[in-house]
Amino acid sequence: MPDELTVLRAVRSEVDDLPPAVVDAALHRARQRIAQPGTRQPGTRQPGTEPGRVRNTRPARSARRYRPVLIAAAVLVTAGALVGTGVGVTHLPGPESAAAATLHDAARAATSAPDTTQAFTRVTVRELALGYATSDGEHYDEGYLFPTTTITWVPRDVSGTWTRQSWSEHATTIYGGRAARAAAQQDYAASAHRDDPVRERAAGGAFGNGELGGTPAGTLTPADIADLPRDPDALVRRIEAAPRAKGATDAEQVFDTLADFLRTGLVPNELRATVYDALAGLPGIVVTDDQASLDGRHGTAIGLDDRGGSDRREVIVDRTSGDYLGERTLQTDRVGAVPAGTVIDSASVDVAPAPSAP
């Protein structure tokens, strides 16, 4: 099985012999490498070196929504492929939903929490991501959950030099048999480990983007924090008005943009409150799990109802403290040995002030 860059080149060449889940996984990983400079991208490999498997170190989020977005991010896109939209999210009147109430509570808690500032912010992301494997050379019918850890030290002035280190550990769960076990062992052997992590530095968090180019239009980054509106409706309008790939509803566009932004771990308390209030106003927002567990912490999982596709993305918040705990993606359909309801990607985000970087 080709690795991520081979998948991207296949898409560029309009080769259509790869399973949609594999294309989604590789392209979403590529999009996140561009959009999230503070997150880890371990185990970069040369094309074609690992037949029979493909890593999904970032979630293959909603296939229905993300395939056009990812192709736009990873391939040269014509001007006509991007469109600007007006205000499209309709805030329907009626009783407040459990999801909206949770998010408003979290917003109030975030507003009242003081921001602690030191020279650096240390963002620790612990991720479990599904890797796919093929038992017959044709179908990606097995998988394994592969844990990775990334620690990023971000200076108070985000245009300064960022430092990050990252490593992988042995697979925690195997779905299937020999192919999945072999792929998991190969993945671990090809990755950096805790005793010898990958160490990188980059001005403004601009860690290498390789052949994929710059940040996709509409992505919110830490550099945008100062200029973002603190009014929820104004924030929604800004996101809706940004260029985007065709195919996403306004609610999906806002949800995914804000979820990506929260995952940076760098959203200050008062702006995080605005983000929560903006999410609370989205039609179709629902509580999917009121006792979600993420890396030993518990919170409320919130997603969009009826997103379609083969997976569901959720953000997890603590309504009492206002903390953003992380996110997860659940596979809604069975794929080979990977059952429906499997958490195919989870990312715990832990943020703390730090006096210095290593």
Q: How far is residue 212's CA from residue 262's CA, in Å, rounded to a whole number?
A: 23
Which amino acid is it at 196?
D
Give the residues across from 142 on adjacent strands.
133
The pLDDT value recorded for residue 248 is 78
Residue in this structure with the two tokens 């090809």, named with its chain if needed: 190
pTM of the predicted protein model? 0.75
* Count of residues in the chain: 358
Q: Which domain holds residue 325?
A: 4-354
Give the residues across from 108 on adjacent strands.
none
Q: How far is residue 289's CA from residue 301's CA, in Å, rounded to a whole number?
A: 5
How many alpha carbons lie under 13 Å from residue 199 in its C-beta half-sphere? Answer: 6
What are the percentages of helix, strand and coil residues in the chain, rounded to 5?
30, 30, 40
Q: Is 65 helix (H, G, I), strand (E, B) or coil?
A: helix
DSSP string, 256-325: HHHHHHHHTS---HHHHHHHHHHHHTSTTEEEEEEEEEETTEEEEEEEETT--SSEEEEEEE-TTT--EE
- The alpha carbon of residue 265 and the mean position of all alpha carbons in its chain are separated, in whole angstroms, by 12
Structurally, how many domains does the chain consist of? 1
Per-residue pLDDT of the chain (358 residues), as tens digits, is: 444 444 444 444 444 444 454 455 455 444 444 344 333 333 333 333 343 455 554 433 333 222 222 222 222 222 233 233 334 554 444 457 999 999 999 999 999 988 888 999 999 999 999 999 999 998 999 999 999 999 999 999 999 999 999 999 999 999 999 999 999 999 999 999 999 999 999 999 988 754 445 677 788 999 999 999 999 999 999 999 987 767 778 898 999 999 999 999 999 999 999 999 999 999 999 999 999 999 899 999 999 876 667 788 999 999 999 999 999 999 889 999 999 999 999 999 999 999 999 9
